[in-house]
Structure 1
C-alpha cells in the first residue's frame, strides 16, 4: 500500500488493545447513529403521521362541506323554481306559456351548465316542457325521480342516464363516456293548491369533478387522491381503477361513528395509505346524500421527507465512525507502547533469562503501568524461589510415587478378590440375579438368569431391560419409574438411597413383588422379585433377585378352582337344608316338642353360618380370579347407610346392642359413585363386627363426615364400638384372609376371618381406603374413605 503514510501503516500494524480500542470507538459511533436513526423514526413517524393525517381529515371535511354546499344551492334552486307562481299556469292549451317556460328552463340551464336536463311533467308523469325540448312528450311516470318527488324524496343518488346520453351534445358529453347524473325533483302546485306535476333537474356528475379540481391544486393531485363513496360503499368519484366498485374499509366504518378523522389502512391495491375521512351531513334544508369523502396519501410518499432526514443522519454517523476510528488509533498508541515494553520483558523471563523489568518512562508514567511493573518484578522473585523449592521436591517425588503405586496395587488386589467373591456368590445363588444401571440397561446377569430367560450374559449386557424381559403393556410404566428414581436421586444427593425425597418413586424397593416377564421365546411367566438400590454416591444401580413361581401359581389356580367347585356344590344342598329346617321351625309339620325345636334352631343358625362362610369363600375366589363385577351408579350415601343399619338391627338386638346414626344436616345430600350391594355388604360387615365385640347394653355408632385431601372431596363412613379394642399383635394382619383375634373371646364370637379382607378389596375397587384406630381397652373406630362426586339438590 504505497499511498498510505508510514505512521498510518504503523498504526494499522498494531494488534491487541490498540486495535480493539479503535474498533470499539468505531462500533460505538455506528451504534449511536443507529439508535439515533431509530429514535427519529419512532418519535417523528407518529408526529408526522398525526400532522399529515389531521391535514387529510381537514381536506376531507372541506371537500365534504363543498359538496354539501354545492348540492344545497342546486337543491334550493330547483325547489324555488318549483314554487314560483308563474310556473303553475303551464297548460297544453297555452302554447305561448309553454314556450315561455321552456325559455326560463333554458336560461337556468345556461346559468348553471352542469344541469344536463331540466323539465316539467304533468300530474300523470308526461313531460310537458323541457329545456331545448329534450324528452318532451316522454312518459316519466315509472321513473324513480318522478315517484320519489311525489313521495317527498327530492334527491336521487348518482346513476347513469342511458336514454338521455343519446340526446346530449357530444362536445360536452362524449359518446364513449357514461353520463352520470344526480336527480333533483320537486312537485309543483296549481292555483288550487293541488299537485300539478313535477319539476325535475338532472345534475351532471361533471359538477363533482369541478369541485374536486377547485379543492386540490395540481401538486396535491399528483400525490393525494380524493374518493367519494355513497352510503352503500360504492365509489362515485376517485381513481379510475376504483370508480364504480364497492369497497369496505375501516375508514368508512369510522366515518359512520365519528363523522371526521383519519386512519392508516391498506387499500385493495395492497398499499398502505394515510386516509382522512368525513361524512356528508347536509347543509341547512338540504338533508345530505350520506356520502363519505376519503382523502388518501400513500404512506411511503407521506413519510419520504422523514426518510431523507434519516439517511442524512446515517451518513453523518458513518463519517463520525471513521473519525473516531482514527482518534482511537492515536489514543491506543499512547496506551500500548509501555505495555509492549512489559510484554518483551515477560517474554525474556519466559525464555529463562533473569530480567529486572525497568520502570516506565516519564512519557507513560501512569499508575496502572507502574503497578503492573512492580507486580511483575515481585512475581519474578517469587518464581525463582519456588523453582529452587521445586527442584528439591522432585528429589523425593520418585520415592513417593513408588510408595503410592504399591498401595494402589494392594487395594486393586483386594477389590479384585472382593469382586470375585461377590460374583461367586451370585453364581452359586439359586435365584436369578439381574443388575440394571441408572439408564435402565443390563449391567449384570448370572447363570440362573441365563437358565430362566434363555439369553447368555454376553447377549444382554448393555441392552435396555424394559425392551428385553418386560411385556409391551408394562414397558412405559417401567421407563417412567426409572426416570422418577433418577430425578429423585438428583434432587437431593445428600440423602440416602432410600430417602431421596420422592417416596412414590422408591416404594417398590426392598419389597417382594409378583410380576410378569418374558423369556427369549417371548413367553410370559410369573416371577417373584425383590429389587434393591445400590448407591455409592457417585453412581448407582438396581439389583434384582427373581424366582420363577409358575408352578406355585398353577397350584394356586388349582386350589381356587377346587374351592370354587366345592363351595358351589355345597351351597345348593345347604340352601335346601336351611329352607327345610326353616319350614319345620315355622310349624309346617305341626307343633314340635320344645327340645326338637331347640335343636332345629341350632341347626338353622349353623346352616346360616355355613352359607355365610361359603359366600365369603366364593367372594374371595372371585377377587383372586378377577371375576368380581361392579355396577357403578351415582347415588346418595345416606340411603346406603340407612339400609345397612336396618339390615343389622335384628342382629344387634340378639346382642342387646343399640345402633345409632350420626349424620349432620349438610352431610345428608352427599352423593357417591359405587355398587350399591357391595357397599352395603362392606357396611354390614363392619357393623356386624362392631356389634359382635360390643359389651351387652352397649352402643355402636355409624357416622358420616366430609373432608378434603390433596384438593379432592372425600366422605368418611365411621363405625365406632365400645368393646375391648384390638390387641397390638393382631393389628398388622387384621385385613389378611382368615385372620382372627387370638383371644378365647374372639374364637367364641365365631366368624370366618374373611369379612375384613373382602371389605378391603371392595373399598379399594371403589377408589377408596379402609383403616382403623384402636387401642387395647379403648373404643375401636373402623372407617372408610370414598371420593365424593356431588351434593344432591335439597
Structure 2
C-alpha cells in the first residue's frame, strides 16, 4: 500500500503502479531491525522507477519492520518526507542577512550551497563534500564526536571569510542522522561594523540552534509518533490483539495511509469471515473427495488384473495393486523399486522403450501386446498387456498398464486348436474321396449324365472344393499358431510364380466376370521364398480382388523392382474397405462385410494366413484403399 501527495492532494497509489524497492538501502537495512525500531535514511533525491524525479525533491525516509505472530517479517511501514520544505525554512531564515548559506546531510554532501552546481552531487554523479572544501570540519562529522558547532576564521581557510557551522540532529533518538547548517560572511564586513556583524553572527548562530531544536521536535512529531501509531496498529492486527487508534484525522499522507489501512483491515476481517465459510465447504469437499479416492483405490487394489502405474521418463513404478502382488509374487515394497521390464524376461529396457515411442510421439494413445511375466518363484506367466499413456496438464506424465494373466485363455485356445485340427484332419480324408468321385462323375467317367443330374453333381463338386479349401485354411491357421508351418525357402524368379497363381485363379475370376491384367512386370527379379506358400498368398490376394470387384471387369497386377526390395501389388476397382474395418483387416475371421462370407464364401482367414506367410519369408504386407474407388493389397520382399 502506498499513499502519495501531489500538490495539496493525497491519493492511494493503484497496485499496478507500485514499484519494486527491494534493492534500496533503506529497505535492506530496515528488514534487519527488531520490532519497534526505526531506520532513518540519509537525505537524498527521490527516485521513481529507478530514475531521479524532476523537479528535484530531497526526501528523508523513516521505516520500521512489521512481524507476524510467528516472528516472520510481514512487511515494512515507510514514510517519505519532502525535506525540501525544511530547506526552504532554513533559507528564509537567512534571507536579508547578506551571508552565504551551506546545508549538508550527515555525510557532508551539499543540500544547499552558494554554487548551485554543487548541490545534490552525491545523487548526480559529482559528489561534493564540505569536509573536502574545509578539512577543519572533519571532526564535526565523526560518529564519535559530540561537537555541535564549529567556527572557521580567515587564518583557517585563507580566504578572508568567517564561517560558522551548526550540527542539527533530526531525531533525538538518532544522533547519527543530522544536517549541518553553515553561514559565511566576509571578514572585512565583520571588521567594518563589528558590533552589527557580531550581533548578526551571534543572532544567526542562535537562530540555527533554535532551528535545530525545533526541527528535532518537529521531525519527532512528524515521523516517529505517526509511524509508531501505524506500526503498533499493524502489529496488534497481526497478533490478534485489540487495536488502538490510528491518526485517521490527519489531512496529510500519514492520515491517508492510516485510513487506507483501516479500510484494508475491514476488508481483511470480511475476507476472513468468508474464508472461514469457504474452509468449512472445502473441508466437506475434501472429505467427500477422500472417500471417492479411497473407493477408487480400493477398487484398483481389489482388481484381479495386475495394474501398474509408472513414470514416463524414468519408468519407475509408483503404484502396484494387490493383483500385481498376487500375479508376480513380489511384495508391493519391492515392486515400487522396480521397472516394468524387470518382470518381463522377453523384453529388455531398449525393447520396452521402443514399444513406448509411438505413444510418446503422439502417434498412438495406447497399445496392447502379449508377453510373459516371470514371478518371484521363477514361473513364467503368459500375459496380455494394455498400455496407455496419460499426460494431464500440470501433472507428471505416466503410463498405466493393465496386465491380464491369459494362462487359462491360452489353454482354451489350445483346446480349440486341437479340436479344429482333429476335426479338420478327420474331415479332409473323406472329403478328398468325395471330391474325387464327384470330379469323375462331372468329367463323364461313368457316362453322360442327364442335364438335371449333371447340374446337381456339379454343385456338389464345387461345394466339396469349397469345403476342402476351408479345411486347408483352418489347418494352415493351426500350423501358424502352433509354429508348425514348414517353409522351404530358396532363391528363384518371381514372375513365374505370379503367372502360375494367375493361371490357378483364372477360373475363379471368371465366375465374377473379371480378367487379370499385368500392368508392370520384372522378368529378372529373384526372391528367396517357398514357392508353394508364395503362390498361396498370391492366390488369396487375386481371388479376394476378383470376389470384391463389385461389377468391375479387371484386376491389375504390378511387379515393381526397387533394387533391394520388390513390391507385388494387386488392385481391384470395387467398393473399397470401410474405415471402421481397416484396423481389423488382417485379424482372424474378419471380412469388411460379414454377409459376403455367406454370399461369396470364405473363412476370413486368407489375409491372416497371408500376413504370417510373408512375415516368415522376411517381408511385409499392407494395403491402400479408398471407399468407392477400390483397394490395392501389396507385399514387399527382399530381392536376391
TM-score, normalised to structure 1, is 0.44
Matched, 1:689 2:544: yes
Given that 1:359 and 1:373 are in contact with CA atoms closer than 8 Å, whether structure 2 keeps it comes out as: no
User: Which among 523, 531, 534 is matched to residue 679 of structure 1?
Assistant: 534
Could you tell me which residue of structure 1 aligns to residue 436 of structure 2?
579
Provide the rounded CA distance (Å) in 2 between the counterparts of 1:437 and 1:630. 43
> How much does 1:784 deviate?
1.0
Provide the rounded CA distance (Å) in 1 between the counterparts of 2:423 and 2:30. 104
Provide the rounded CA distance (Å) in 1 between the counterparts of 2:596 and 2:291. 60
Report 1:20-419 matches (<5 A): 354=40, 356=42, 358=107, 397=238, 407=279, 410=283, 416-419=290-293
Could you tell me which residue of structure 2 aligns to residue 721 of structure 1?
572
Give 3-state SS (helix, strand or coil) of 1:606's partner: helix
Could you tell me which residue of structure 2 aligns to residue 434 of structure 1?
308
Are residues 443 and 391 of structure 1, via their aligned partners in 2, closer, same or farther at CA, if it must alter by over 3 Å?
Answer: farther
Work out which structure has the larger RCO, using CA pairs closer than 8 Å and 6 or more positions apart in sequence. Answer: 1
- The structure with the greater share of residues assigned to strand is 2
> How much does 1:591 deviate?
4.6
User: Which among 528, 537, 554 is matched to residue 699 of structure 1?
Assistant: 554
Could you tell me which residue of structure 2 aligns to residue 46 of structure 1?
none
Larger Rg: 1
Matched, 1:532 2:388: yes
Given that 1:440 and 1:479 are in contact with CA atoms closer than 8 Å, whether structure 2 keeps it comes out as: no
Are residues 697 and 372 of structure 1, via their aligned partners in 2, closer, same or farther at CA, if it must alter by over 3 Å?
Answer: closer
Matched, 1:783 2:633: yes
Give 3-state SS (helix, strand or coil) of 1:436's partner: strand
Matched, 1:510 2:385: no
Map Cα deviations across residues 624-675 of structure 1 (whole Å, 9 max, x no partner): 22222334444443333222222222333444432210016xx544444433
Provide the rounded CA distance (Å) in 1 between the counterparts of 2:231 and 2:460. 104
User: Which among 602, 605, 620 is matched to residue 754 of structure 1?
Assistant: 605
Provide the rounded CA distance (Å) in 2 between the counterparts of 1:742 and 1:390. 84
Give 3-state SS (helix, strand or coil) of 1:559's partner: helix
> How much does 1:533 deviate?
3.4
> How much does 1:722 deviate?
3.6
User: Which among 334, 347, 371 is matched to residue 474 of structure 1?
Assistant: 347
Matched, 1:604 2:461: yes
User: Which among 458, 481, 485 is matched to residue 628 of structure 1?
Assistant: 485
Give 3-state SS (helix, strand or coil) of 1:474's partner: coil
Map Cα deviations across residues 77-102 of structure 1 (whole Å, 9 max, x no partner): xxxxxxxxxxxxxxxxxxxxxxxxxx
Provide the rounded CA distance (Å) in 2 between the counterparts of 1:386 and 1:646. 107
> How much does 1:465 deviate?
3.6
Map Cα deviations across residues 281-332 of structure 1 (whole Å, 9 max, x no partner): xxxxxxxxxxxxxxxxxxxxxxxxxxxxxxxxxxxxxxxxxxxxxxxxxxxx
Provide the rounded CA distance (Å) in 1 between the counterparts of 2:340 and 2:592. 45
Given that 1:511 and 1:531 are in contact with CA atoms closer than 8 Å, whether structure 2 keeps it comes out as: yes
Across the aligned residues of Structure 1 and Structure 2, the Cα RMSD in angstroms comes to 4.5
Deviates more, 1:602-611 or 1:744-753: 744-753
Given that 2:597 and 2:603 are in contact with CA atoms closer than 8 Å, whether structure 1 keeps it comes out as: no
> How much does 1:580 deviate?
3.1
Provide the rounded CA distance (Å) in 2 between the counterparts of 1:412 and 1:454. 35
> How much does 1:746 deviate?
5.7
> How much does 1:349 deviate?
11
Could you tell me which residue of structure 1 aligns to residue 337 of structure 2?
462
Are residues 638 and 388 of structure 1, via their aligned partners in 2, closer, same or farther at CA, if it must alter by over 3 Å?
Answer: farther
Could you tell me which residue of structure 2 aligns to residue 424 of structure 1?
298
Are residues 548 and 372 of structure 1, via their aligned partners in 2, closer, same or farther at CA, if it must alter by over 3 Å?
Answer: farther
> How much does 1:554 deviate?
0.4
Provide the rounded CA distance (Å) in 2 between the counterparts of 1:426 and 1:734. 34
Are residues 744 and 407 of structure 1, via their aligned partners in 2, closer, same or farther at CA, if it must alter by over 3 Å?
Answer: closer
> How much does 1:617 deviate?
0.5
TM-score, normalised to structure 2, is 0.54
Given that 2:371 and 2:383 are in contact with CA atoms closer than 8 Å, whether structure 1 keeps it comes out as: yes
Provide the rounded CA distance (Å) in 1 between the counterparts of 2:239 and 2:602. 83
Are residues 450 and 722 of structure 1, via their aligned partners in 2, closer, same or farther at CA, if it must alter by over 3 Å?
Answer: closer
Provide the rounded CA distance (Å) in 2 between the counterparts of 1:423 and 1:697. 58
Given that 2:385 and 2:403 are in contact with CA atoms closer than 8 Å, whether structure 1 keeps it comes out as: yes
Are residues 762 and 583 of structure 1, via their aligned partners in 2, closer, same or farther at CA, if it must alter by over 3 Å?
Answer: same
**Structure 1: which 5+ residue stretches go unaligned?**
1-342, 375-379, 489-497
> How much does 1:572 deviate?
2.2
Given that 1:659 and 1:700 are in contact with CA atoms closer than 8 Å, whether structure 2 keeps it comes out as: yes
Are residues 418 and 753 of structure 1, via their aligned partners in 2, closer, same or farther at CA, if it must alter by over 3 Å?
Answer: closer
Provide the rounded CA distance (Å) in 2 between the counterparts of 1:715 and 1:392. 90
Could you tell me which residue of structure 1 aligns to residue 621 of structure 2?
769
Provide the rounded CA distance (Å) in 2 between the counterparts of 1:391 and 1:683. 96
Provide the rounded CA distance (Å) in 2 between the counterparts of 1:502 and 1:696. 41
> How much does 1:372 deviate?
7.1
Map Cα deviations across residues 234-293 of structure 1 (whole Å, 9 max, x no partner): xxxxxxxxxxxxxxxxxxxxxxxxxxxxxxxxxxxxxxxxxxxxxxxxxxxxxxxxxxxx
Provide the rounded CA distance (Å) in 1 between the counterparts of 2:403 and 2:596. 43
Given that 2:29 and 2:39 are in contact with CA atoms closer than 8 Å, whether structure 1 keeps it comes out as: no
Provide the rounded CA distance (Å) in 1 between the counterparts of 2:292 and 2:461. 70
Provide the rounded CA distance (Å) in 1 between the counterparts of 2:517 and 2:30. 103
Matched, 1:553 2:404: no
Are residues 350 and 722 of structure 1, via their aligned partners in 2, closer, same or farther at CA, if it must alter by over 3 Å?
Answer: closer
Are residues 658 and 540 of structure 1, via their aligned partners in 2, closer, same or farther at CA, if it must alter by over 3 Å?
Answer: closer
Are residues 517 and 728 of structure 1, via their aligned partners in 2, closer, same or farther at CA, if it must alter by over 3 Å?
Answer: closer
Map Cα deviations across residues 172-201 of structure 1 (whole Å, 9 max, x no partner): xxxxxxxxxxxxxxxxxxxxxxxxxxxxxx
Give 3-state SS (helix, strand or coil) of 1:515's partner: strand
Provide the rounded CA distance (Å) in 1 between the counterparts of 2:636 and 2:234. 76
Could you tell me which residue of structure 1 aligns to residue 470 of structure 2?
613
Given that 2:344 and 2:371 are in contact with CA atoms closer than 8 Å, whether structure 1 keeps it comes out as: no
Are residues 672 and 603 of structure 1, via their aligned partners in 2, closer, same or farther at CA, if it must alter by over 3 Å?
Answer: same
Aligned residue pairs, count: 413
Could you tell me which residue of structure 1 aligns to residue 17 of structure 2?
none
Provide the rounded CA distance (Å) in 2 between the counterparts of 1:370 and 1:431. 76
Provide the rounded CA distance (Å) in 1 between the counterparts of 2:232 and 2:395. 37
Provide the rounded CA distance (Å) in 1 between the counterparts of 2:228 and 2:561. 81
Are residues 755 and 444 of structure 1, via their aligned partners in 2, closer, same or farther at CA, if it must alter by over 3 Å?
Answer: same
Given that 1:716 and 1:783 are in contact with CA atoms closer than 8 Å, whether structure 2 keeps it comes out as: no
> How much does 1:618 deviate?
0.9
